[in-house]
Structure 1
Amino acid sequence: MTTQIVILAAGMGSRLGRSLPKPLTELNDGRTIMQQQHDNIRQAFGRDARITVVVGYKYEHIVEAFPDDDFVYNEQYDETNTSKSLLRALTASKDGGVLWMNGDVVFDPEVLVRAGDLVARDESFVTVNTAKVSDEEVKYTVDAAGSIRELSKTVEGGLGEAVGINYVSSRDKAALLRHLHRVGAQDYFERGIELAIAQDRLKFQPVDISDLYAVEIDFAEDLERANLFV
């Protein structure tokens, strides 16, 4: 089955202070953030991987840059957060699991290669970095079996940070969809995962990529750090 991959790129990215959508920010190697993501996807899953981009703010620029992708429009991009963008993407997806990522993450190509085995086995996961735990980032804890238990910015005693690259299996997708419907408009998609774990006993495995780079671009200093790797 063709791997379904979603890039969440609807937001305005106002903190970075650019006129174009943040995923179109150019890196030092001449590629945009989103082009780097596409290259990583193709390296891990081949040319047949189906990429759907959730667009919103100045969407026409992304559509023009990546005409071969599929697109889902979040018309409430200025009023909602990633939970509602992911909701739209999963609703539009075909049968099977879905790998998704935030559209502002610059990451090592090996991240998707490492996660490929779990995708092939159709097992839900969250990629994590245990090397640092910042208060403003999404953090996680695990249960006795090692599966994700808590996943939010308010987690206390977090074991690491969620990177923003995740997979929901075919069997777990319907439950996650239900909870994405229920969460608030300003919630991140992690809230839907957390509720699905607590209420439907879904199992999301943490995939540790601490030895690889993955930088979420929110501010100019994040972009500077990401450019050290590309």
Structure 2
Amino acid sequence: MQAIILAAGVGSRLGIVDGERRPKCLLEIGGMSLLDRHLQLLERAGVGPVTLVTGFQAGILADAVRTAVQAPRLCHNPDYERGSVLSLDAAADVLTSGDEVLVMDADVLYHPAILARLVAAPRADLFLLDRDFEPGDEPVKLCVAGGQLMEFRKRPDPGDYEVVGESVGFFRLSAAMAARLAGVTAAYAADGRGDQPHEEAIRDLLRADPAAFDYLDITGLPWIEIDFPADVERARQEILPALANADEANA
């Protein structure tokens, strides 16, 4: 199983943190960067090789991973100021490799059990769903009807949904579905939709064949996606201690 970590974005909504502006995945939470945590947990889960899609401050990211335990392969998206669908398209060789693929946002602090459960699940083509989220337009939502995923968007189409949760931003794709995703991202790039987020390409696959997908409910496990300065504070003051408490409870 391979992994693609999307780390090309500018992070303009986050701005300057700790006196500097750097790629979000290099933010240190509890003395370790988000990226180092990703790589450590992926190695622990037996996932590899890992491809890191760079863009903003690519040289800084390259320097940061030189001494990593599992140094990722670097793949650059020169159009990183546009939509993240182009970052996923830049890693099309991984999507078409014939392996299962994890697609992961780089700016997430999360409990190790979230990744462990995703990797250990008996099937691929999986989303992660958290029912405990703050309403609003910011969270990317997963919507379930009739026991089946039907919608995936910040602003879902109206529907009679029995479960609505937030997507964690990690996706496990079978080799066949990953190859299909490569075709979709290539179409986005070719027809002028390169300003779209990568979630839209994944949504296209879901909407075309809902029965092909499933989800894991990870409600109760601590995690946070870091987009705003307030998220950094919450990561340090709330989520990091929750990770330690969850570890102690499971010891």
- Normalising by structure 2, we get a TM-score of 0.81
- What are the equivalent positions in structure 2 for 1:13-32 lying under 5 Å apart? 13-18=11-16, 19-27=21-29, 29-32=30-33
- What are the equivalent positions in structure 2 for 1:98-137 lying under 5 Å apart? 98-118=101-121, 121-135=122-136, 136-137=138-139
When residues 33 and 102 of structure 1 are mapped into structure 2, their CA distance, relative to the original with a 3 A threshold, is same
Contiguous gaps of at least 5 residues in structure 2: 241-251
Runs of 4+ displaced beyond 6 Å = none
Alignment identity in percent? 29
Residue equivalent to 2:207: 198
Q: Distance in 2 between matches of 1:100 and 1:181?
A: 16
Residue equivalent to 2:249: none
Contact 1:97–1:122 (Cα < 8 Å) also in 2 = no
When residues 113 and 14 of structure 1 are mapped into structure 2, their CA distance, relative to the original with a 3 A threshold, is same
Q: Distance in 2 between matches of 1:33 and 1:178?
A: 30
State the SS of the aligned residue for 1:159: strand
Q: Distance in 2 between matches of 1:210 and 1:216?
A: 15
CA positional deviation for 1:49: 2.2
Residue equivalent to 1:188: 197
Question: After superposition, what is the alpha-carbon deviation per residue over 1:95-141, rounded to whole angstroms, capped at 9, x for unaligned?
Answer: 211102111011111111111223xx451111111112532211121
- Normalising by structure 1, we get a TM-score of 0.88
Q: Which amino acid aligns with 1:131?
A: D
Q: Distance in 1 between matches of 2:5 and 2:141?
A: 21
Max radius of gyration: which structure?
2
Residue equivalent to 1:177: 182
Q: Which amino acid aligns with 2:183?
A: R
**Are residue 165 (structure 1) and residue 170 (structure 2) matched?**
yes
Alignment length (residue pairs): 221
Which of 7, 10, 22 lines up with 2:8 in the alignment? 10
Residue equivalent to 1:226: 235
CA positional deviation for 1:201: 5.2
Q: Which amino acid aligns with 1:107?
A: Y
When residues 166 and 229 of structure 1 are mapped into structure 2, their CA distance, relative to the original with a 3 A threshold, is same
Contact 1:52–1:72 (Cα < 8 Å) also in 2 = yes
Q: Distance in 1 between matches of 2:134 and 2:15?
A: 26
Contact 1:7–1:102 (Cα < 8 Å) also in 2 = yes
Aligned-residue CA RMSD (Å): 1.8
Q: Distance in 2 between matches of 1:202 and 1:81?
A: 28
Contact 2:34–2:107 (Cα < 8 Å) also in 1 = yes
